[in-house]
Amino acid sequence: MSNKTKRFLLQEEEIPHYWYNIQADMKNKPLPPLHPGTRQPLKAEDLFPIFCQEVSRQELNQTDTWIEIPEPVRDRYKYYRSTPLVRAYGLEKALDTPAHIYFKNESVSPVGSHKLNSALAQAYYCQEEGITNITTETGAGQWGAALAYAAKVFGLEAAVYQVKISYEQKPYRRSIMQTFGAQVTPSPSMSTRAGKDILTAHPTYQGSLGTAISEAIELAQTTPNCRYTLGSVLSHVALHQTIIGLEAEKQMEMAGEYPDMVIACFGGGSNFGGIAFPFMRHKILNGKNIRFIAAEPASCPKLTRGKFQYDFGDEAGYTPLLPMYTLGHNFAPANIHAGGLRYHGAGTIVSQLMKDGYMEAVDIRQLESFDAGMLFAQAEGIIPAPESCHAIAATIREANRCKETGEEKVILFNLSGHGLIDMASYDQYLAGNLMNYELTEADIQKNLDEIGTLA
Ligand SMILES: *Cc1c(COP(=O)(O)O)cnc(C)c1O
């Protein structure tokens, strides 16, 4: 193959038939999630009232390394997969770096982000189990859009709580969800107890993923034949996303290279886990020397500045207690444009891997993220999602380091989504109106002190 190949694609039959369950290979398994009431380790059955049964089992599966992708899900993957692995010649040139930069382009999915990889799986399992309605929360609207489409594919009704700031900043994501037939409510809303409580205490609150999760779970629990779905954080979501890294492994082989570094932006960890885990497998099993870098916003720095402890996944404390790096479930992130990264915690698998030194994290300020996004757009012709800009910024930092040292490192990053529905954010950047948000140690400590030790 020519060494100037730009894009690497797999044939349909080469699309993986199995997801990779890293929990089975981890030396130190994630600590168990705890029941919020009894504080006892959770059993899959405890999750059945909220999630469908199959994903509940997947969530706690620490033994099966490979989990088969159901045929109907794989058939739908073929509508947009394989996604291209792209050699970023344009970006390399713009940076004048000796590094070889590759990105996996998940923005080509019908909804513009990686989120569909798990939405299709979750909607399929719900349909299989006779569930008729699904509910969820969404920040920037990426997950909501993915779930709305997946629900339509598998004949389910979808109700989505969208974080109010995003509902207002990103009206076209709401239109997309509605186009696919979902019912969309801005959160906090007066339609749930969790929403009413927070609106009573803070009438102007612009919402957070944590609050919207509480509202969606409450709806699932009070609506017959309805289940809740989550687009990030949980282990089964990262499992479904490993299709990204499994494809990328084959595609890197086509390119005749192997990554020295794998980079992804970090909200709850699903696109990071998705691209990283299949490569990390070789680090865990064979000690292969690869760096894994999670890029999180400086205004929501759970991995770089949070604490590893049990915490709730949502604002109101309805979810199980999860052992994770957290800023506290009461943490209200600044209104950055990367709505999908405004979450207080990190998934339990990633948290354990971080604790055990298999990966690292960097924090990126808002302006640096958009500087990176602009450069990438001009060099590669793809306008990245504000979330993905964080991965690009981390990649640029590493590529610049290579320029200093003259090293030809191979960098692989995940382009989790495009920014074509986020142009209002770019408008703000271009008008010079975007700002960085500073968080002091005292801000961070105050939240953690407030929640104390939960288990
Ligand atoms: C949701 C989202 C993220 C963050 O979620 P993860 O679970 O951390 O991947 C990142 N990028 C895009 C485009 C998203 O939609």
**Whether the Cβ atoms of residue 391 and residue 417 lie closer than 8 Å to each other:** no
Nearest in space to 367 (alpha carbons), one of 294, 417, 425: 425
Percent of the chain with pLDDT over 70: 99
Q: Give φ, ψ of 138 to 5 degrees.
A: -145, 145
Q: Indicate the residue type of 219.
A: L
Question: What pLDDT is recorded for position 210?
Answer: 78
Which residue CA neighbors atom 13 of ligand 1 most closely? Answer: 417
Q: Which atom of ligand 1 is nearest to the CA of 272?
A: 9
pLDDT higher than threshold 90 for residue 56: yes
pLDDT higher than threshold 70 for residue 455: yes
H/E stretch holding 118: helix 116-128
Nearest in space to 208 (alpha carbons), one of 34, 18, 349, 343: 343
Cβ-count burial of 253 within 10 angstroms (0-12 exposed, 13-18 middle, 19+ buried)?
Answer: exposed
Q: Which atom of ligand 1 is nearest to the CA of 387?
A: 11
Which residue CA neighbors atom 5 of ligand 1 most closely? Answer: 267
Domains in the chain and their CATH numbers?
A: 9-14+69-112+236-451 (3.40.50.1100), 113-234 (3.40.50.1100)
Question: What pLDDT is recorded for position 3?
Answer: 62
Mean pLDDT of 444-454: 92
Mean pLDDT of 96-122: 98
CA distances from 406 to 92, 335, 392, 396, 398 (A): 13, 38, 20, 15, 12
Mean pLDDT of 76-99: 98
Report strand pairing: 157-163 vs 183-187: parallel
Note the pLDDT tens digit of each residue in 284-301: 999 999 999 999 999 999
- In 157-237, which ranges are E strands? 157-163, 183-187, 226-228
Which residue CA neighbors atom 1 of ligand 1 most closely? Answer: 340
Ligand 1 pocket list (CB less than 6 A): 113, 115, 140, 142-143, 232, 265-272, 340-341, 385, 387-388, 416-417
Question: What pLDDT is recorded for position 302?
Answer: 97
Note the pLDDT tens digit of each residue in 374-389: 999 999 999 999 999 9
Q: Which atom of ligand 1 is nearest to the CA of 274?
A: 9
Ligand 1 center from residue 426 Cα (angstroms):
18
Percent of the chain with pLDDT over 90: 90
Confidence band of 265 (pLDDT split at 50, 70, 90): very high
pLDDT higher than threshold 80 for residue 432: yes
pLDDT higher than threshold 90 for residue 104: yes
Ligand 1 center from residue 267 Cα (angstroms):
6
Which residue CA neighbors atom 14 of ligand 1 most closely? Answer: 340
For residue 205, what are its two tokens? 């609150």
Question: What pLDDT is recorded for position 51?
Answer: 96
The pick from 265, 302, 351 for probing ligand 1's pocket by mutation, whose C-beta has the most ligand atoms within 8 angstroms, reads: 265
**Whether the Cβ atoms of residue 305 and residue 448 lie closer than 8 Å to each other:** no
Whole-angstrom distance, CA of residue 279 vs CA of residue 272: 11
At residue 322, the 3 state secondary structure works out as strand
Note the pLDDT tens digit of each residue in 127-161: 999 999 999 999 889 999 999 999 999 999 999 99
Question: What pLDDT is recorded for position 1?
Answer: 46
When the pLDDT of each residue in the chain is averaged and rounded to a whole number, the result is 96
Report strand pairing: 7-8 vs 85-87: antiparallel
**Whether the Cβ atoms of residue 182 and residue 148 lie closer than 8 Å to each other:** yes
Q: Which atom of ligand 1 is nearest to the CA of 265?
A: 10
Whole-angstrom distance, CA of residue 403 vs CA of residue 397: 10
The torsion of the CA quartet 227, 47, 111, 376, rounded to 10 degrees, works out to 150
Higher pLDDT, 342 or 322: 322
**Whether the Cβ atoms of residue 266 and residue 295 lie closer than 8 Å to each other:** yes
Whole-angstrom distance, CA of residue 63 vs CA of residue 61: 6
Question: What pLDDT is recorded for position 315?
Answer: 80
Ligand 1 center from residue 265 Cα (angstroms):
7
Confidence band of 165 (pLDDT split at 50, 70, 90): confident
